[in-house]
Amino acid sequence: MKNYFCLFTIFTLLFIFSSCEKEDDHNHDHESIQGCTDSLACNYNENATDDDNSCTYPEAGYDCDGNVLALIHTIFAGNFYYDPANITINVGDQVRWINDGGFHDVNGEINSMTNTSFENPESFNSPIVSDVGAVIYTHTFNLTGVYNYDCSVGGHAQSGMVGTIIVED
């Protein structure tokens, strides 16, 4: 019995001392890395753990390298209208036409009322679309100038379904 008591005491003491940690084992916090922690910033640092208020952002309409960002403009096509009918955009911007209802196309080639060329800097044309909410056409404008277009379905152009896009640098 005495042997069991001695063994029990030895194991208990070993257990107590083996579970003790050095006092400064908990005082080794990971070093913080200062930097920009906003992933949308130009100088984002994925390794930074503490934001140091150094984040920089591009100017509105530009990316971090100074390139102009293209915008997507939406024009709605409905019963004898494009809305907006006239817009001004920048080179590289994209225009998409959405069908508000009816049968419509986007015709930037031949004027439906005069049967002559629109003489746009570049021509564009879409198929006829009838699904409400569907994209009729999407076009990226890469050349400056004035672009006229109409809906060539039936008498839509004659009823005022015409538009103008001015593309600037």
Please identify, in words, the CATH class of the domain defined by 72-168. Answer: mainly beta
CA nearest 41: which of 59, 57, 62, 53? 57
Q: Report cis status (omega within 30 of 0) of the bond before 127.
A: no
Reported as a single tens digit per residue, the pLDDT across 77-94 is: 999 999 999 999 999 999
Q: Which amino acid is at 64?
A: C
- In the prediction, which pLDDT does 139 show? 98
- In the prediction, which pLDDT does 3 show? 62
| pLDDT band of 25, cuts 50, 70, 90 | very low
The residue ranges of every structural domain in the chain are: 33-68, 72-168
| pLDDT band of 62, cuts 50, 70, 90 | confident
Higher-pLDDT residue of 15 and 96 is 96
Please state the rounded mean pLDDT for residues 129-143.
97
Other beta carbons less than 10 A from residue 77's beta carbon: 27
CA distances 55 to 15, 45, 90, Å, are: 51, 9, 28
